[in-house]
Amino acid sequence: MAGASPASSKTVMITGVSRGLGKVLALELARRGHTIVGCARSLEKVQALQAEIAAVTPAGVAAQKHFFTDLDVSSDARVRELARILVDAKQVPDVLVNNAGTINKNKKLWEISPEEFDSVIDINIKGTANVLRHFLPLMIEKKQGIIVNMSSGWGRSTAAEVSPYCASKWAIEGLTRSVAKELPTGMAAVALNPGVVNTDMLASCFGNSASLYQSPESWAPKAATMILSLTADDNGASLTV
């Protein structure tokens, strides 16, 4: 895969970057010469990924430009601090991928503890809102930017025993369409269903059957190409990789 030219290289911020789709997307975009700003809750995993990213960054691209930190997006204060740091570092993202997410263990709604339900809502909905709250004004100031809020097939349909997750992803669809109406000309916010991919999250629902679906590694090139091709004309769209 050819890398990006210096003129076309973008700064891409990805939340939930330490595993699953966030990780493979970060690696794919770094291989193409784009600068990655990544965050996730696990410091150990973030540090390990930082080394992997440096190893795949093309020659001639400054690997030290990548920025990684441990961060729980459900903490508004921590997200606010990250935004301040990136402004100082002149690394306001061109593309923002709200990927951080979690799912409940398969249970009927009345069997799910309040704490588990709250965790799904706090990360999937409030976490996305926190990131948008602090980064959208910075991107609007630049008068450009693409926002990708990761949705799900279960943000457009439903299944039993994952009601908190379905509720959170339906919320992402509505949140994205509403925010899209608030953006200035030249920007776009889209809800992106990644499709069915064999991740730990899918395995928690499908068990061994998850292995029947595409791997994250085969998904990443398609997703990266699609995300990089988004324009202001896509504003408000609900898309699928």
Mean pLDDT of the chain: 95
The band of 241, judged by pLDDT with boundaries at 50, 70 and 90, is very high
Beta strands in the chain (DSSP E): 11-15, 35-40, 67-70, 95-98, 145-150, 187-193, 238-240
Exposed / middle / buried, residue 71 (Cβ in 10 Å: 0-12, 13-18, 19+): buried
Topology adopted by domain 11-240:
Rossmann fold (3.40.50)
List 68, 154, 165, 170, catalytic entry: 165
DSSP state of 184: P
pLDDT of residue 203: 84
- Taking alpha carbons only, the member of 229, 222, 196 closest to residue 211 is 196
The band of 7, judged by pLDDT with boundaries at 50, 70 and 90, is low
pLDDT of residue 6: 63
pLDDT of residue 156: 97
User: Which one is predicted more confidently, 1 or 72?
Assistant: 72
Is 165 a catalytic site residue? yes
For the ranges 102-111, 194-203, 213-222, the lowest mean pLDDT is seen at: 194-203
Residue 1 has pLDDT above 80, yes or no: no
Distance between alpha carbon 1 and the CA centroid of its chain, in Å?
Answer: 22
The band of 21, judged by pLDDT with boundaries at 50, 70 and 90, is very high
Distances (CA, A) of 221 to 27, 31, 55, 148: 10, 10, 18, 16
Query: Global pTM?
Result: 0.94
Q: Rounded mean pLDDT of 33-38?
A: 98
For the ranges 111-125, 145-159, 193-207, the lowest mean pLDDT is seen at: 193-207
